[in-house]
Structure formats: C-alpha cells, structure tokens
C-alpha cells in the first residue's frame, strides 16, 4: 500500500517556543509535590491533600491569567491554556481522592 502523504508532525513550532508553558507545568507539579511532602511532615495528615488541591487550582488560575495576558499568539505547541487545563484536571482528580470524613474531621476539630 502506498502512502499518500508524509508521516511527519502536522505542525512544527520554532525551537524553544514552548519551553515557558512546559517549565510552568513542571514547576507547578514539582511545587505541589513539595507542598504535599512538607504538609505530611509538619501538618496533620488530613490537611495535606486538600492543601495540594488548593495549590493546584491556584496554579491553574495563575496559568490561565498568564494565558489571557499573552493573547492568542502561536498555537502550534503547548500553550499556557493547555497548562491551565491540565492543572485543573489534575486538581479535580486529586480532589476526588479527598475523603468526605477527612474534611469533616478538619472542620469539626479545628485545633488539629
């Protein structure tokens, strides 16, 4: 069977144009992992995961603000909108892991 077109990438971006969003995504996930590790050591274990979820949502909001300020621009690579969406998705997945009884213990006994 003969191929009718070249099997390369559909859109090529200039080298280095997508490094900002990729670095922002890696930094946000790294910071969330660091906050989770420190929260498990220093805070009550019930507070660690909700704190990480909050940080992921704040990072997603920051990425969305950066994307909004940068405008449409070149859409051939990873954009800040992609980073905001991915961080929101990861935050929702992490929020699904929070046990409702865990949050009830946090609210019922604020001295922890």
Give residue 93's pLDDT: 95
The CA–CA distances, whole Å, from 82 to 1, 17, 79, 108 equal 37, 14, 5, 38
In the chain, which stretches have pLDDT less than 50? 16
- The residue among 61, 56, 53, 55 whose CA lies nearest residue 97 is 53
CA angle centred on 98, ends 34 and 60, rounded to 5°: 55
User: Alpha-carbon distance 56 to 47, whole Å?
Assistant: 14
Sorted by where each begins, the domain ranges of the chain are 45-112
Instruction: Say which residues have a Cβ less than 8 Å from residue 88's Cβ, sequence separation at least 6.
Output: 56, 57, 60
Bin 14: left if φ > 0, else alpha if -120 < ψ < 50, else beta.
beta
What is the pTM for the complete model shown? 0.75
Residue for token pair 């859409």:
75
């Amino acid at each position: 069977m003969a191929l009718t077109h070249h099997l390369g990438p559909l859109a090529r971006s200039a080298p280095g144009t997508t490094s900002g969003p990729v670095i922002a995504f890696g930094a946000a996930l790294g910071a969330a992992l660091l906050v989770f590790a420190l929260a498990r050591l220093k805070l009550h274990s019930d507070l660690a995961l909700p704190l990480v979820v909050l940080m992921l949502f704040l990072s997603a909001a920051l990425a969305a603000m950066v994307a909004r300020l940068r405008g449409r621009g070149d859409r051939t690579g990873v954009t800040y909108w992609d980073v905001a969406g991915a961080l929101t998705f990861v935050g929702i997945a992490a929020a699904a892991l929070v046990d409702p009884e865990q949050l009830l213990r946090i609210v019922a006994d604020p001295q922890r």
